Structure 1
């Protein structure tokens, strides 16, 4: 079994922290002998041994030569310095020659203290989100250095518990247990630094509290580790404020290995007041040296130290009590040393290596299964919640399954990515794999995808997706456009910087000039047979289009005029059962009939005709029309006459819950469309989903909804429409027979369709 271990950043930190952990693990794996290990390094670095492979040599190695490519960390310190962040962490050639990816999980500190770490480094959130997604979506297994770390990877990174194995780690027992004659001292040694989570302030405050209990004690606090300014000045002032004599606290700064061993082995005890640790190698080193150790009762430190030698890291009195116990109680000192030896018999490099190898042997399965972890997925580009777009909501439902899809969206900042992830998961009702669009090139280069699906509509929300499509001409993944509209002239207008002249120039490349000369504004383009499909086919190299209806397919075929080799498939619009709030959001007068029309109001959508019908109904009985949708106030101001204001209620920009509540509460819903260009009606599907049988114009009704709607002619006179509304007020809708059009079914259709095409 062959393993390619990436050591490109670990080599430069081999004496401390993660670097020391990685090389300790590699040495133990080699001693075990069941793995053949090669080390990956950047050209220019020193070859560590004859097994070293440089990145620029990977292209000469056969595909799948290695069983596993092992990442030393999902968040290397120097990752942020590389523009191609994902390409640096996951070289696509390394993935090509390896059957599967595994990684080492050390900690998720910024997730534990987001206000401390993400607020000071806005880029860190983006990096962590990317690393966590690699852990949960690309890596087939993660080896964690503690139970705490495994729990955090499941909680924050979304890793499946079955894909996590705790191996702990170890120390160089020979070095730390060697019988050197170091003169014993009364020192309390702290090994760490001034990072927030290390809680050095707590160590000093706890030591000061101990000195108040034992003023006669000759113990000194020795602080080993780098202390930066302004931390040094702040700590000096803290020592002064706590009335500690300066001679009682010593800050050594960074020390070499020899001095570190000497200071620890000669100490009376060590103390580790960390607020969070992934493992805590210095604790294992102290125990290996036979030096009693007190540590905080949180995170992994609580896994390494007996409960009686733990303390609350935020309580100086609790720390002082632990110091007093292990400095002066010989029985507790002996117990600490004995517990340490028992721990080290279980937590050591030999056992870590053996556990890792046995796990790798267990998860080494067929090539096809392994390939699934690094490729054979579907990338989906779409606007996402909280965008006020039906497409955003639909994509969250259809493509919000992290097991099947990676969903790429436009993000303005790391905070925006977090917001979109939360809102998308809320709608999807499950874990989603959400990525910024800018990350796609690296993932595609790593051959992660067979197919990329670009979800497009005609509104400006879809502009980033169209831009991505036009920029991805040379990518590996085959492209499919999933259209919610049969016309795209408005989104092309936005793509052209809202310049009609620029749009005219672009369209002249794909449509006859004679047609262009007749166009006055971009809204007139559809009337002369230019719906914006040809630029997708020729400009982006699209050969496959998916639409929501037979009518949309005909509209597209009309636009391309059978001149291009393009396959058009139909995947009907999603129709989900919707549980809406049953309490009406309005009060009604006696015998008042409440009619609703939903979506963006426009006379092209027959809003004026519905108002006229409600006006007609009011001749015989009280009736009111609720216009519920985005830009409803704008329509009311511009299009509703003063005499009609008393029969119309405006609900502008409702959220999904409000929209569905209104849909369920109205007596009759009416949706008309005067002109149809193949657009799908998400509103009609939602009305059926809440249990309505809406009135709709025949050109708007998908065949799947024929039995669940009341069809009327799009030019129906207001008097006849009023009669249809009165007849429909007691009609009850049903969802029966529509389960096959659910979001889950459509998501499965996309996944299965593209796994075989």
Structure 2
């Protein structure tokens, strides 16, 4: 690796492709939005890559990026605290020995002591703008490290213009100091499902026999899922027979810290039904999303909103909010409501009463989703890596 770097150096700084060390060690085993972001990038990036990862992910990354150098790390760094110490103490040496020009840190923090160029991704500004949706420890840690990383990094990547604008309110880095790289959508996985795929998802997830309203995302305060459950109860209480069978509410995604969800679900009575599914297999997501009557994502604010994009690509009519980046993703191809329960109920009633409206939104969503590409996102990241490696920050 080091000798190939020397050969590229000899060709001149403008022509060489930088060696990028990707720190994938912060990615959890159950892939949420940040994990999928990094996995899609690694699969799509060109040029020499070195991937530092948890030992459990070694085989996965070797298959995902066959030309990359994969460096599994000691299993002890599965602990968050130990991983952070490893990042500060060991990662700079790994980058040096690998001949890396750039260290890419995709989750807010960067190593302090390194001569390599550093690129970091900030996914949203909610640690500042909406602190109540995070635990106190997490809020204090990431607020501090966002400020430190912003000061030290040669470039900061964000997933939307809204995130750049929001972050610029809280840290001394102007909007122009952020590189916006939208997320993409995996079209092999997320496209309109067949009837058989919808049936398979419904059967395996226990949803067969009735329509469903879907939610997909980590169940944490920011996602506002208890408000959705309250809205759903009210929707069913006023259900009209002309709308067809009463739908279930299906909530998919990892469970974050306490949200009050259980208390709201306990109040649900027949004919309403709520299924809390937890993580679902990626192979079932197309049928789960595309088979839903509506995908509701009532978030209080997103740096991007990947589930909204993926639902659109699957041909689902989507209901979300206008908070932060969500309108950048949904445009005029989704329905919007305020994040309070009465507003969500009213919007759901409108959608469930109008099959033609749902069809129009589904068609618009499919078309709009085509604007977002992991290839374009990777090219944007590569341009940032090349710029900082050549000293053009």
* TM-score category of the 2 structures, normalised to the smaller one: 0.7 to 0.9
Contact 1:269–1:293, Cα closer than 8 Å, also in 2: yes
1:588: which partner in 2?
none
TM superposition shift of 1:112: 2.1
Cα offset, 1:289, TM superposition: 1.0
Aligned residues between the structures: 338
**Secondary structure of the residue that 1:101 maps to in structure 2?**
strand
1:310 to 309, 332, 336: 336
1:19 aligns with 2:35: yes
Give the root-mean-square deviation of aligned CA atoms: 3.0
SS of 1:176 mapped into structure 2: coil
1:380-459 aligned at under 5 Å gives the runs: none
Residues 318 and 65 (structure 1), Cα distance of their counterparts in 2 relative to 1, 3 Å cut: same
Cα distance, 1:74 vs structure 2: 0.7
The verdict on how the C-alpha distance between 1:169 and 1:45 changes in structure 2, with shifts beyond 3 A counting, is closer
Does the CA contact (< 8 Å) of 1:135 and 1:159 recur in 2?
no
Runs (5+) with no aligned partner, structure 1? 76-88, 371-757
Separation (CA, whole Å) in 2 of partners of 1:203 and 1:324: 13
Q: How does 1:512-531 map to 2 (within 5 A)?
A: none
Aligned to 2:250: 222
- What does residue 225 of structure 2 align with? 200
1:112 aligns to what? 129
Q: Is the 8 A contact 2:51 2:71 kept in 1?
A: yes
Aligned to 2:286: 261
In the TM superposition, 1:656-695 aligns within 5 A as: none
Q: Give a deviation string over 1:585-640, Cα, whole Å, max 9, x none.
A: xxxxxxxxxxxxxxxxxxxxxxxxxxxxxxxxxxxxxxxxxxxxxxxxxxxxxxxx
- Equivalent residue number for residue 157 of structure 1: 171
Find the partner of 1:36 among 36, 48, 54: 48
Q: Counterpart of 2:365 in 1: which secondary structure?
A: helix
Deviations 1:124-174 (A, max 9, x none): 344123311233211111111122221222122332322212111122211
Deviation sequence 1:481-539 (CA, Å, 0-9, x none): xxxxxxxxxxxxxxxxxxxxxxxxxxxxxxxxxxxxxxxxxxxxxxxxxxxxxxxxxxx
Residue in structure 2 matched with residue 71 of structure 1 by the alignment: 105
> In the TM superposition, what whole-angstrom CA distance separates every residue of 1:671-725 from its partner, at most 9, and x where no partner exists?
xxxxxxxxxxxxxxxxxxxxxxxxxxxxxxxxxxxxxxxxxxxxxxxxxxxxxxx
Q: 1:157 to 1:54 in 2, by over 3 A?
A: farther
Q: Deviation at 1:303?
A: 1.9
CA distance in 1, matches of 2:35, 2:218: 17
What is the aligned partner in structure 1 of residue 263 from structure 2? 234
**SS class of match (1:25):** helix
How far, CA to CA, are the matches of 1:179 and 1:211 in structure 2? 27
Change (3 A) 1:350 1:208: same
State the 1:18 CA deviation.
Answer: 0.9
Instruction: Identify the residue that residue 733 of structure 1 maps to in structure 2.
Output: none
For residues 309 and 231 of structure 1, the distance between their equivalents in structure 2, rounded to whole angstroms, comes to 26
Distance 1:303 1:352, change over 3 A: same
Q: Matches of residues 572-587 of structure 1 in structure 2 within 5 Å?
A: none
CA drift of 1:364 comes to 4.2
Q: What is the distance in 1 between the residues matched to 2:190 and 2:277?
A: 20
Relative contact order higher in (CA < 8 Å, ≥ 6 apart): 2
Selected match of 1:6 from 23, 41, 48: 23
Q: In structure 1, how many angstroms separate the alpha carbons of the residues matched to 2:49 and 2:308?
A: 29
Which residue matches 1:355? Answer: 380
Match of 1:296 among 321, 325, 329: 321
SS of residue paired to 1:190: strand
Distance 1:111 1:219, change over 3 A: same
Structure 1 residue 339: Cα displacement = 2.6
The residue aligned with 2:155 is 141
Superposed displacement of residue 265, structure 1: 2.5
Could you tell me how far apart the structure 1 residues matched to 2:324 and 2:351 are?
21
Q: What's the secondary structure of 1:174's corresponding residue? A: coil
Closer/same/farther in 2, CA of residues 320 and 203 from structure 1, 3 Å limit: same
**Partner in structure 2 of residue 712 of structure 1:** none
Matched residues in 2 for 1:356 and 1:23: separation?
A: 14
Determine whether 1:341 maps to 2:353: no
SS in 2 for 1:177: coil
For 2:56 and 2:258, locate their aligned partners in 1 and report how far apart those are by CA, in whole Å: 33
After superposition, the Cα gap between the structure-2 partners of 1:126 and 1:266, relative to the gap in structure 1 and judged at 3 Å, is closer
- Aligned pairs for 1:243-258 within 5 A: 244-245=269-270, 247-258=272-283
The alpha carbon displacement at 1:73 in A equals 0.9
Cα displacement (A) at 1:343: 2.4
CA radius of gyration, larger in = 1
Q: Which residue of 1 aligns with 2:71?
A: 53
Instruction: Tell me the SS of whatever aligns to 1:52.
Output: strand
* Offset of residue 114 of structure 1: 2.3
Q: Are the equivalent residues in 2 in contact too, given 1:140–1:163 (CA < 8 A)?
A: no
TM-score, normalised with respect to structure 1: 0.41
2-structure distance, mates of 1:254, 1:64:
35
Of 90, 97, 106, the residue aligned with 2:111 is 90
Query: Structure 1 residues 245 and 101 mapped into 2: Cα distance closer, same or farther (>3 Å)?
Result: same
Q: Is the 8 A contact 1:187 1:268 kept in 2?
A: yes
Unaligned 5+ segments in structure 2 are 1-16, 63-67, 74-89, 203-209
Inter-CA distance 63–186: structure 2 relative to 1 (3 Å threshold): closer
